Amino acid sequence: MLFRFPSRTSIPCFLFTAVLPVVVGISILCFQPARTQADDLGRPTVINKMVAKLVTKLMQDDHLSNRPLDDQISQRAFDLFVKSLDPMKVYFAQSDIDEFSVWRTDLDDEMKKGDFTAAFAIFRRFLQRVDQRTETAVKMVDMDHDFTVKEEMVTDTDMLTFAATEEEAVEKWRKRIKYSLLVFRDDESRKDKEDDSETQEKTDEKGDADGEAKNVKKIEKKDPKEVLRKRYRSFARRMHQTNAEEVIEMFVSAVTNAFDPHTTYMSSKTFENFRILLSLQLEGIGATLSMTDDGYTVIKSIVPGGACDTQGGIKVEDKIVAVAQGNEDGTKSYKKLYDIHGGEPVDVVGMKLDEVVGMIRGKAGTVVRLSVISENSEEIHDVKISREKIKLEDSAAKGAIFEEGTREDGSPKKIGVIDLPSFYADMSGKLGGRRTTVDVERILNDFNSQNVDAVVLDLRRNGGGSLKEAIDLTGLFIDEGTVVQVKDSYDQITKYDDETPGLSWDKPVIVLTSKFSASASEILAGALQDYGRGIIVGDTTTHGKGTVQSLLDLNQIVANIRNPPNTYGALKITMQQFYRPSGESTQLRGVLADLVLPSLSDKMDVGESDLDYAVEFDKIPGASHDLYQLASPQVKETLRQKSLLRIDSSEDFAKRRRQIKNYVSQKALKKVSLNEEEFMARRKELSAEKEDEKTIEALEKNEIERDFFMDEVLKITSDYVELLGSNG
């Protein structure tokens, strides 16, 4: 078989990672025993072997590092593969790792031959250990745990080790279970206080303690031990549902991640889901799904204007217990799914999330029937939904206008805020497909028509996306010139310019960034900073992802035809590194903010420098570019001092600073106390884990809200408009 490899001058594509939240869960309706080793995975196919060989050649020929697939890569891949299976080192024993070490320097050779012997052997041992540890854990849940003993559990992953003896393994699990039970106790205590407070509020409102109190419905508490038993069994079941293609995807990605953390192999199923997410197009019910601790697939959000929203019958937090195709008489079914599942309801409790999504997603105009249980209810009801073609608006640009400060004529200044979660583009190439630049330009035109004075471009949760869109979008704010420079593994440098004369927005610009702003976000922020076009406000620096990934469709390489069947998947490979117009890469260092605002995300370990085997920072010669007189050092310093005075007198920011200090202090802890008194006392303080979740949740909000943080950004923007006016 002859392979046609892509040209090295192909246009790179920045890719964002869309993570679907999944919480470990368990079926409470139909627990299935684990499958045997002989039939749980299946065997590698000829296609799998071909994928390994093809990926090997692409990595050695096209990866930015220009390095061979050798023993060092093999050792890295070995550690990454084991880590992907057992990151907390609670399943494998040290004896397992010692036994596997015979493959430590052989994975490169196996990859070249398309041999997955090591990967399957390691994964099958993992399944054995999962079954063994699950059985132990379930039994230990019912032990009498002494919460008065002074003991600790290691939480720092760098300090964790695999158990050297069975006794050590059991002790690890005893502490994990004890820790989980303490968490449950604390959570229940908080819920009780919240319930009591809510009941009192309702009683006060009605003025009838007896009557109102009787009507307050008390939700039955879950038994923490039962929840843990279900959780462990559910994890075991889902691991046994892993198939050969998924194991191979994990293994091949471990090898590619050994070159750098962003080079990843996507199986055919993963590739299809990725294309749907990147193009913002989906035919289905218009809802986001996740998995809960009790094993159900749950509706986590409903897309405005989507099928669930317009047709009704489904609410957020509804649990899906069964899925059926078409109407009861078989009409309006999606043939592809009907041929597989028939028209009768299929129990999906305990099923893998991607499989449930695959049963619900389908062609617009067809019908899917869902059996659901609503929150705080045990009754199952059926909902019939006609699938519709929807757009995932949560990932599209949004705009809002706020008033802050006054103009010279006494009228209020208008500040437009644009929330941009990603740089998206319709990958199908269809005319009229959704594009970031088109959407943002439409918002800017609206701002101009409403005489808006300045724009805040919020990139705090923007993880990247299309390189072309980042270039085109930058062009809305500058009048031609180099936006980004790209260097490949042969040290060839290519400049990518905005070639469209004129600006869509010539007024002041504030770019709001965080440590989550990555890749294409950093191109835009870095270019505007180099051009002196605007002010960067936010975390100390951005994510620091300065490498360029190209998406290589392996199907096209093998078949050498357009739009081939999705059989081989795709390789997202780091082929180039990008540089700002000034010549500095954003790799590892990111884009430094001109004004830093106190935030928890600034202290999180979520940057490029926190990843394994990241590409190093470097520089190239700068490109000739214009320098706008809109962000002088004097202007930046004046804005900084004005902002600092407001922050120092703000109670909200004082509280935020205390949270940050406590967060940093708690992050530095290597262990957690399992003594209940000490544990509860510590939990009353800031929980680093929960603050991580809260911060991420805040960044994922779809609405543009004016909280105290955004309020300060708007005040900075108002000051900026005033300074430029006085200097002009």
Q: Tens digit of pLDDT for each residue in 35-77?
A: 334 346 778 999 999 999 999 999 999 999 999 999 999 999 9
**Distances from the Cα of 512 to the Cα of 54, 301, 506, 591, angstroms:** 41, 26, 18, 11
Answer yes or no: same fold for 281-391 and 393-547+575-727: no
Over the Cα atoms of the chain, what is R_g? Answer: 27
pLDDT of residue 34 exceeding 50, the answer is no
Determine contact, residues 366/419, Cβ cutoff 8 Å.
no
Determine contact, residues 359/345, Cβ cutoff 8 Å.
no
Whether domain 281-391 has CATH 2.30.42.10: the reply is yes
pLDDT band, residue 533 (cuts 50/70/90)? very high
Q: Which residue has the higher pLDDT, 226 or 525?
A: 525
For 453-468, what is the mean pLDDT? 93
pLDDT of residue 26 exceeding 50, the answer is no
pLDDT of residue 79 exceeding 60, the answer is yes
Determine contact, residues 457/487, Cβ cutoff 8 Å.
no
Determine contact, residues 464/520, Cβ cutoff 8 Å.
yes
Q: Locate tokens 């949560």: which residue?
A: 394
Mind listing the pLDDT tens digit for each residue in 489-506?
889 999 999 999 999 999
For 370-374, what is the mean pLDDT? 87
Burial-class residue 563 by CB neighbours within 10 Å (0-12, 13-18, 19+). Answer: exposed
275: closest CA among 569, 584, 602? 569
Q: Let me know how long the chain is.
A: 728
For 597-621, what is the mean pLDDT? 94
pLDDT value of residue 575: 93
What is the percent of the chain where pLDDT is above 70? 82
pLDDT value of residue 562: 77
pLDDT value of residue 277: 60
pLDDT value of residue 191: 58
Domain ranges of the chain: 178-224, 281-391, 393-547+575-727
The contacts of residue 504 (CB under 8 Å, 6+ apart) are: 441, 444, 445, 476, 477
pLDDT band, residue 290 (cuts 50/70/90)? confident
What CATH number labels 393-547+575-727? Answer: 3.90.226.10
Cβ atoms < 10 Å from Cβ of 29: 12
Distance CA(525)–CA(527), nearest Å, equals: 6
Reading the block at residue 683, the tokens are 């939990």
Mind listing the pLDDT tens digit for each residue in 642-677?
999 999 999 999 999 998 998 888 888 899 999 999
Q: Residues 36, 37, 41, 42: is their CA dihedral positive or negative?
A: negative
The vertex-229 CA angle with 224 and 231, nearest 5°, equals: 90
Determine contact, residues 714/413, Cβ cutoff 8 Å.
no
Distance CA(601)–CA(3), nearest Å, equals: 45
296: closest CA among 311, 313, 280, 318? 318
Mean pLDDT of the chain: 84
Q: Which residue has the higher pLDDT, 109 or 700?
A: 109
pLDDT value of residue 217: 36
The contacts of residue 116 (CB under 8 Å, 6+ apart) are: 44, 48, 52, 110, 247, 248, 251
What φ, ψ does residue 591 adopt, rounded to 5°?
-105, 115
Number of separate helices (H) and strands (E) present in the chain: 22, 21
pLDDT value of residue 38: 38
Q: Locate tokens 């005075």: which residue?
A: 645
Reading the block at residue 41, the tokens are 């995975």
For 175-190, what is the mean pLDDT? 83
What is the percent of the chain where pLDDT is above 90? 59
CA 269 to chain centre: 18
pLDDT of residue 119 exceeding 80, the answer is yes
Distance CA(320)–CA(27), nearest Å, equals: 12
| Residue 199 three-state SS | helix
Reading the block at residue 495, the tokens are 């400049």
554: closest CA among 51, 16, 112? 51
Reading the block at residue 669, the tokens are 């802890």
